Structure 1
Amino acid sequence: MNRYQKAQKVATYGVLGNLFLLIIKLWAGLAFHSQAMLADGINSLGDVFASSMTFLGNKVASRPQDEDHPFGHGKAEYIFSFLIAIAMLAVAARTLYSSFMSIIEGNTIVFSPFLVVVCAATILVKSCLYVYAKRAASQENNLLILANAQDHRNDVFVTLGTLLGIAGSSLGWNFLDGAVGIAISLWIAYTGVVIFIKAYRVLMDTGLGETTYRRIADIVSAVDGVDHIDSIEAKPVGFQYILFVKVSVDGEMSVNQSHAIAATIRYSLKELGDVSDVMVHINPC
C-alpha cells in the first residue's frame, strides 16, 4: 500500500467516524439544549467535510505527471486544504454567534446522562482515529495524514471541554455551556487559520526555511569540485519540492567533469525524502 492509498484509507475512516459522531452530537445537542454539544456537533460536520476534502484532494494529488501538469498534481492537497480552512472559519463564526446568544438569552440545559455517553463515545472514537492516523503518517511521511491525525487529537480536547460545560450546567452554572461553546469556536477558528497559512505558503511558492536551506547547502558544498554555491531556490509541488541549484566550479575543467559534478549534486539531494527533483546549473568560477 503506497502513501496515497494509505491516505485514502485514513480519510475514509475519518468520514465514517465523523459522520457517526455528527449524527449523535446534533441529536443530543438539540434534544437537551446544549450549545456546547451543538458546537461540538458542528465541529464534527466540519470534520466530515475535511475528511471528504482530504479524500478528494489526495485522489487528485496521486495522479502522475502529464502534458498539462509537468510537475505533477501534488498541490491539489493544498488547494483542498485551503477550502477546508475557509469552511472551518465559517463554521467557527456561526458557532461563536450561537454561543454568545446562548449566554445572553440565558438558555438552560436539560441534563441527561446520555450527553455524557455521547462525549465518552466521541473521545473513544477520536482517540482510535488519532492513533491510527498518527501511525500511518509516521510510516508514510505524509503531511496530509498528519494533519488529519492532529485534527482527531484536537477533537478529543474539544469534547473534554464540552463535557466540562455539561457538568457545569448540571450544577446550575448555565453560562458555562455557552462559554465552552465560545472556546470551541475559537479553537476551530485557530485550527482553520493554521491550515490556511500552511496552504497559502505552498500555493504561493514560499521559499525554503533557514534550517532546510542550511541542510541542502551542506550537502552541495561537500561535493568534490564545487567552489561555491551561487543560489538555492525551491518550488513546492505538494508535500515535496523541486530544487534549483546554481554552483560555480573551476572554469578550466571539461564539460564532462562539470556535468559529473552536477549529477553528483542531483543524486545526493534526491536522497532527501522531501525532494521531488533537482535542476543543477553550472557556472565557471
Structure 2
Amino acid sequence: MDNRFKQAEFATWVGIVLNGLLAVMKGLVGWLAGSRALIADAAHSASDVAGSIAVLAGLRTAQKPPDADHPYGHGKAENVATIIVAILLIVVGVEIALSASKVFFGEVPSAPKGIALIAVLISIIVKELLFQYKNRLAKKINSPALQAEAWHHRSDALSSIAAFVGVLGSIIGQQMNYPILLYLDPLAGLLVALLVIKIGYSLAKESGLIMMEQVLDKEETEPYIETVQQVRGVSRVDELLARTHGHYIVVDIKISVDPTITVAEGHSISKKVKEALLKKHSNINKVFVHVNPYSQEPS
C-alpha cells in the first residue's frame, strides 16, 4: 500500500471514530433536550459514518493494480464511493426535511433545553477541524473520495451552526415569551436538510461527469500538448484527449512523425512521448500513443 492510500485511509478512520461519537452525543442530547435541529444534526453525522465506510471501501479498491478486466486500473472506485456518499446525503436530507416540516402542519413546537447548545458547539468545532484536515490532505494526494468526505464534514459544520441558531432562538423565545421564536429550532432543521441535499446533489453531479468519462477541456490539456511538442521527432500533435480516472489522468494522443522513418523509429518516438508525459505530469498514470505519418492535413 503506497503512502497516498495510507494517509487517506488514516484520515477516513479518524472521521469514522469522531463522527460516530458525535452522532451518539448529538442524538442523545437532542432527544433529552427536545431539539429537532440537534436530532437532525445527529442524523447528518450518522450519515457521515456510513459515507466514510463507503469511502474506505472505495480507497481500498482504487489502490488495486490494473488487471485483465480493468486495464485502466481501479481508480474510479473512488468516484463510486463519492456517489454513494452523495446519495446518503440526499436521503438523509429528505428525511430531515420531512421530520422538521411536521411542526408547520399543526404540531406545536417547544423550546429545547440549554444543554443542546453545548453539544452543538462541540460539533461545530470538531467538524470544522475535520474539514480542514481532510480538505488539505485531499488536495495534496488528489483524492476525489476524500474531497467529498471533507465537504460532508463542512456541510455538517454548517448544519450545526444552523442548529445552534435554531436552538438558541427557541430558548430565547420561550424565556421572553415570544412563541414565534419557538419555530426557529424546526426551521433550522429544515435549513440543514436543504443544505445537505444541495451538497449531495453537487457531489453526485461532479462524480457523475467523471464516471461518464467527460474529457478535460482545452485549457487543462494545453500543458500536456506543450510537453509532447518538445519531444524530438514529433512533427505535430494531431489530437490529445485526457480524462479523469479516479485520482489520476488517462491520456490518449495522436501524433504525426516523418513518414520516411522506420516503424522502429516511430515506436521510439511514441515511447519518448509517453515517458515525457509521465515524468513531467505526476497526475498522469496512463498514456496511449497513436503514430500517424505527417501530412499537411491532420489525421
**TM-score range normalised by the length of the shorter chain:** over 0.9
2:254 to 230, 246, 251: 246
How far off is 1:106 after superposition? 4.5
1:9 aligns with 2:10: yes
With the length of structure 1 as denominator, give the TM-score of the two structures: 0.92
Structure 2: distance between partners of 1:90 and 1:141: 27
How far off is 1:149 after superposition? 2.3
Counterparts of 1:57-72 in structure 2 under 5 Å?
57-72=58-73
Counterparts of 1:99-118 in structure 2 under 5 Å?
99-118=100-119
Structure 2: distance between partners of 1:143 and 1:93: 24
Structure 2: distance between partners of 1:142 and 1:270: 19
Q: How many residues align?
A: 285
Which has the higher mean CA deviation after the structures are superposed, 51-60 or 260-269? 260-269
Q: Is the 8 A contact 1:7 1:144 kept in 2?
A: no
Which has the higher mean CA deviation after the structures are superposed, 167-176 or 129-138? 129-138
Which has the higher mean CA deviation after the structures are superposed, 70-79 or 107-116? 107-116
Q: Give the match for residue 133 of structure 2.
A: 132
With the length of structure 2 as denominator, give the TM-score of the two structures: 0.88
Amino acid at match of 2:47: G
Q: Is the 8 A contact 2:85 2:149 kept in 1?
A: no
Q: Give the match for residue 279 of structure 1.
A: 288
Amino acid at match of 2:212: M
Amino acid at match of 1:157: L
Amino acid at match of 1:258: G
Classify 1:200/1:12 alpha carbon distance in 2 versus 1 (closer, same or farther; 3 Å). Answer: same
Counterparts of 1:140-219 in structure 2 under 5 Å?
140-172=141-173, 173-219=181-227
Q: Is the 8 A contact 2:143 2:247 kept in 1?
A: yes
Structure 2: distance between partners of 1:204 and 1:185: 28
Structure 2: distance between partners of 1:143 and 1:90: 21
1:257 aligns with 2:265: yes
Partner SS, residue 235 of structure 2:
strand
Q: Is the 8 A contact 1:234 1:241 kept in 2?
A: yes
Which has the higher mean CA deviation after the structures are superposed, 105-114 or 43-52? 105-114
Classify 1:204/1:139 alpha carbon distance in 2 versus 1 (closer, same or farther; 3 Å). Answer: closer
Render the CA deviation track for 1:115-162: whole Å, top value 9, x for unaligned.
111011112221332233234334423332233223223322221111
